[in-house]
A and B are shown apart, each in its own frame.
Chain A
């Protein structure tokens, strides 16, 4: 019996993109169902009644919500290229960094843009410096080593969306000089085949954020 895989999505969402990268890593064919979040569909509400957000993965009628939960689910169900390490300790470390990115990095970045202040800027820089140090200590191409893992996927926002946000806001906080490792990592990440294939077009994102920041 063929698998039925549907993804309730919004093209520009970094969280949706996490699910798309994971599905692409495993080579899974799915139906992409683009949503209008200002006018939520009955299906979206049915499949994610608690949060009513995207992404939602529906696999043979079973709905899974929350991007990192979805990525782990994809890794659990479909074997092939692994997204999480096998070893329980390494797995815990990967989960730690993915959570750090969601709980600390991304909110700090959103507070610092488009305007922010000295405090928000310092906070964003501090969190990103922690990631920069982690990359330095690891000394590998990706957080996952030679291949991308859960952490790289979680950090996709920093690799791709952050640059767009900085350009749209006309404010450069994260520079190559201050974050040499993250800069190289970001470039490697967005050019990694399974990622490149699913990233939304940059011009679309730029337009979206310029409008959101009132700078269009």
Chain B
């Protein structure tokens, strides 16, 4: 798609933005990345995502696409001639991929976020839920290399940004993700061997510092 303009409104810490960056890198799509200050949102962000005013927003030839998993699917469908395919072509496997990406958002990201955003009883509940859902995901991984089998794709992209948060969650939540979920950690390290992932995910120590600062602000 020569000559098309691709802009990504994003922040360095946004897990959702990371998904999009990984997808664009996998497809070898050139894009301009703009770091947003969410405490002082740009007029472009407000114009392109008036409903949620959130990142990431992909702007392709002036038209905005919002919501990370929707953006990743858009990237796969638009640059379908670029390998690799991110979603399976078989309708049933495609539906499974969508199911698992939805699961990752509603269950794992939700519980994981509450581990560092909540305290006391609520944090304990979040920890238990997180562990339960991670167990389910590890079951889905099974003995496969990737979450949908042999090839890296949509579901791996949906989950792998969370890997940069494991260190922070372990310190804050006093849990051991590597000990409890060795297969998932092995999977994450396998994904990190891909340049699209290793160049996108920030340093886990920086993420931990960020979480600590936010926790101080929240109080």
Give residues in A with beta carbon < 8 Å to B.
50, 59, 62, 64-66, 69-70, 72-73, 76-77, 88-89, 91-93, 95-96, 99-100, 130
B residues lining the A interface (CB < 8 Å): 51, 60, 63, 65-67, 70-71, 73-74, 77-78, 91-92, 94-96, 98-99, 102-103, 136
Query: Nearest chain-A residue to B50 (Cβ)?
Result: A130
Q: Kindly list chain A residues whose C-beta atoms are within 8 Å of the C-beta of B73.
A: 91-92, 95
Give the CA-CA distance A99 to B65 in the complex, in Å.
13
* The 4 residue pairs across chains A and B that have the minimum distance between CB atoms: A76-B91, A88-B77, A73-B95, A92-B74
- B96 neighbours in A (Cβ, 8 Å): 64
User: Measured between C-beta atoms, what is the minimum distance from A133 to chain B in Å?
Assistant: 10
Contacts of A91 in B (CB 8 A): 73-74, 77
Residues in B whose Cβ lies below 8 Å from that of A95:
67, 70, 73
Q: Are B92 and A88 in contact (CB under 8 A)?
A: no
B-chain residues with CB within 8 Å of residue A73 when the two chains form the complex: 91-92, 94-95
Known A-B contacts A50-B136, A62-B92, A76-B94; the reply to A89 vs B99 at CB < 8 A is: no
Known contacts being A69-B98, A100-B51, is A77 close to B91, with CB within 8 Å?
yes
Complex CA gap A72/B66 in Å reads: 19
Q: Given the complex, which residues of A lie within 8 Å of B77, measured CB to CB?
A: 88, 91
Partner of A72, one of B74, B78, B98: B98
Closest to A93 in B: B65
